[in-house]
Amino acid sequence: DHLKIHMKTHDNQKPYHCTECSRGYNTAAALTSHMQSHKRPSSRSHYQRSSPPA
């Protein structure tokens, strides 16, 4: 039921937790979306060198 899912956004309960960083979410969909962020390469890695220049 869409209303029940929507109403969860207004309470402070966060029963869904990320196994990577322990952040809590109020819906399974929000957790699923967040989990994708752990699969994407970090934007910082583009600018970091793995070894010094020769």
- pTM greater than the 0.75 cutoff: no
The pLDDT tens digits along the chain (54 residues) read: 889 888 877 888 899 999 999 999 988 999 999 999 998 776 554 444 555 666
Q: Are 10 and 22 in contact (CB under 8 A)?
A: no
CA dihedral 32, 35, 40, 45 (to 10 degrees): 160
Task: Name beta bridge partners: 16.
Answer: 25
